[in-house]
Amino acid sequence: MKIVSDLHLHSKYSRACSKDLDIKNLEKWAKVKGLNLLGTSDFTHPKWIEELKANLTDDGTGILKSKGGMNFILQTEVSLIYTDAGKGRRVHNVILAPDFDTVDQITDFFKSKGRVDYDGRPIFKVSCPELVEKMRAINENIEVIPAHIWTPWFGLLGSMGGFDSVEDAFKDQAKHIHALETGLSSDPPMNWRLSKLDKYALVSCSDSHSFWPWRIGREATLFDTELTYDHIVKAIRTKQGLTGTIEVDPAYGKYHYDGHRNCNVCMSPKESLKHNKICPKCGKPLTIGVEFRVEELADRDMGFKPTEAKDFFKIIPISDIISIVLGKGVATKQVWEEYNKLIAAFGNEINILLTVPKEELKKITTEKIAEVIMKNRFGQIYVKPGYDGEYGVPILDGKPIEDVKYEPNVIQKGIKEFF
């Protein structure tokens, strides 16, 4: 089965998340986006797990179904803040679980370490090795995946995370880590620059704090396997059946470049080195972004591709494209009108972004929007890099797609085969 999944989400019980982020809206907008498998999010939260148990049915495969037919896999994210080797560590991890009984045991463990009722993504003074050891003691089919591994403060390899490798963080339990979440600010080619990451599957997820189509599914992981928990986890652990990922341009992410949001200072790694990583306006250290950090740890040049690398598709959400073309806010009436016309004609957003021919698009929307969708499809939209919590901004150069000489790059290689 062809599976388009977003396995890292949040619920209305997580801080800084939409209060309408419920199962009904997740189901509705996942279908609009073109997803057929979602993480449940936040399964340790007592109110949310009640809603999950009341609204999702487990048929014994480990895949839960909503009343509207959407597929879910039990998932949460935890924040680990602890001291290791005399240094403060802060690492976020995604946890996948096969059934409600296992989730109850996971929650009981975390209750022994602190509260689970104040936030859908709770914080615990638990180390990365202890987390994996305790999860495996509950059920060896639990999967732990380091989340958004490059983000500065809570990413495993982030500039403030304190670790330079999976082994540094997970120690003797590193052998049980099989996959890494790339996060919005990095893509597979950036991760391919580190030979020590070759053995890990790369997964992409939205880490969405709302259900809107410019958030949910903006990053996704593609599988071609049976739709069961065991088959999904096997694909993650072996890379067999995991066929690729959907990514946004890493410059779109909130921590791609270095900078200071309050000072309106954004710098490339080369620029920030010239300033000794100090903000020229306020004199304080810059927030060091993902590209700088990758450069610090890389042992390969950009452009290296491992022999077993998976295909990936790099695309910007349609709502953002329409917003830029029309010069209107992403949630305005005019943007929604164009978006809804495209969805009504072609079914879902991922289909529009990756497969619908330009001539078909032009029958439904404006030639300019159709043109920019095509430029998006072939990675030809420049994105002004995000930094220090600010999203990147796609910028159109006005050059028609027909005037651009290109060869379909790696992001297009497997589209017809998968979709």
Residue 404 lies in a domain: no
pLDDT band at 350 (very low <50, low <70, confident <90, very high): very high
pLDDT at residue 407 in the model? 36
Do 218 and 323 lie in a common domain?
no
Do 68 and 210 lie in a common domain?
yes
Do 46 and 159 lie in a common domain?
yes
CA distance 90 to 398: 43
CA distance 210 to 207: 9
The string of pLDDT tens digits covering residues 1-13 is: 999 999 999 999 9
Is the confidence at residue 410, as pLDDT, over 50? no
Q: Which of 309, 306, 313 is nearest to 414 (CA)?
A: 313
Do 11 and 114 lie in a common domain?
yes
The C-alpha angle 45, 154, 258, rounded to 5 degrees, equals 140
Q: Which of 198, 227, 252 finishes a domain?
A: 252
Span between the terminal Cα atoms of the chain, in Å: 11
Average pLDDT over the chain, rounded to whole?
A: 94
Domain enclosing residue 337, as ranges: 318-378
Q: What is the CATH number of the domain that holds 103?
A: 3.20.20.140
Across 304-343, b (16+ Cβ under 10 Å) vs e yields: eeeeebbbbbbbbbbbbbbbbbbeeebeeeebeebbeebb
pLDDT at residue 82 in the model? 97
Residue 168 lies in a domain: yes
pLDDT band at 415 (very low <50, low <70, confident <90, very high): low
Q: Which of 252, 274, 305 finishes a domain?
A: 252
Residue 21 lies in a domain: yes
pLDDT at residue 115 in the model? 97
The answer to whether residues 118 and 15 touch, using CB atoms and an 8 Å cutoff, is: no
Residue 10 lies in a domain: yes
Which token pair is 65?
Answer: 């179904």
Is the confidence at residue 30, as pLDDT, over 50? yes
Q: Which of 378, 395, 411 finishes a domain?
A: 378
Is the confidence at residue 226, as pLDDT, over 70? yes
The answer to whether residues 27 and 9 touch, using CB atoms and an 8 Å cutoff, is: no
Query: What mean pLDDT do residues 328-346 have?
Result: 97
The string of pLDDT tens digits covering residues 41-51 is: 999 999 999 99
pLDDT band at 379 (very low <50, low <70, confident <90, very high): confident
Tally of domains in the chain: 2
Residue 289 lies in a domain: no
Is the confidence at residue 195, as pLDDT, over 90? yes
Query: What mean pLDDT do residues 11-22 have?
Result: 97
